[in-house]
């Protein structure tokens, strides 16, 4: 969802800048819920207030609910089907590729100094390899950014 949201919101419609989308992603990770849905809620609120937030959230949730219900009805009979298992393997690979591309794009746009690059890789390593919860990593990232901004006199 995140690569498609970037393409739609930043590139196609121009409703957000890359930096705004990065900020929404970060904020969406800090609050409970699905990141894409939370991001949609923030974008909807920016575009049309509370009504926009509600409609954007509903637009993200309802199609998934309908598809999940349809899959649940048929899945128990089909989950042992080798063709279905291969399809899910392909879907997992496609999702992994989309995530790698999105992370690369976001890194190139956000890591604009050696310090920010070190922070990105440190945060990644802590979350993936040490299995630290993302919440303290995000809080530490905010503190590091504030300290670095203060130390550099407002420059990046």
The verdict on residue 115 lying in a domain is no
**Number of domains observed in the structure of the chain:** 1
The verdict on residue 149 lying in a domain is no
| Bigger pLDDT: 145 vs 16 | 16
Can you give the residue range of the structural domain that contains 22?
A: 2-79
Average pLDDT over the chain, rounded to whole?
84
The verdict on residue 8 lying in a domain is yes
74-96 average pLDDT score: 82
Q: How large a percentage of the chain has pLDDT more than 70?
A: 96
55-69 average pLDDT score: 90
The verdict on residue 14 lying in a domain is yes
* DSSP per-residue codes, the chain: -HHHHHIIIIIIS-SS-HHHHHHHHHHHHHSSS-HHHHHHHHHHHHHHHHHHHHHHHHHHHHHHHHHHHHHHHHHHHHTT-HHHHHHHHHHHHHHHHHHHHHHHHHHHHH--SHHHHHHHHHHHHHHHTS---HHHHHHHHHHHHHHHHHHTTT--
């Amino acid at each position: 969802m995140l690569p498609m949201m970037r393409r739609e919101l930043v590139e196609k419609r121009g409703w957000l800048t890359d930096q705004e989308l990065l900020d929404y992603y970060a904020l969406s990770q800090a609050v409970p819920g699905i990141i894409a849905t939370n991001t949609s809620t923030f974008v909807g609120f920016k575009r049309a207030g509370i009504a926009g937030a509600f409609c954007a959230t509903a637009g993200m949730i309802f199609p998934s609910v309908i598809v999940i219900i349809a899959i649940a009805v048929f899945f128990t009979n089909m989950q042992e089907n080798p063709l279905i298992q291969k399809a899910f393997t392909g879907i997992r690979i496609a999702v992994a590729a989309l995530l790698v591309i999105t992370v690369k794009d976001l890194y190139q746009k956000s890591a604009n100094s050696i310090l920010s690059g070190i922070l990105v890789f440190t945060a990644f390593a802590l979350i993936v390899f040490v299995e630290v919860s993302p919440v303290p990593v995000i809080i530490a990232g905010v503190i590091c950014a504030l300290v670095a901004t203060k130390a550099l006199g407002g420059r990046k």
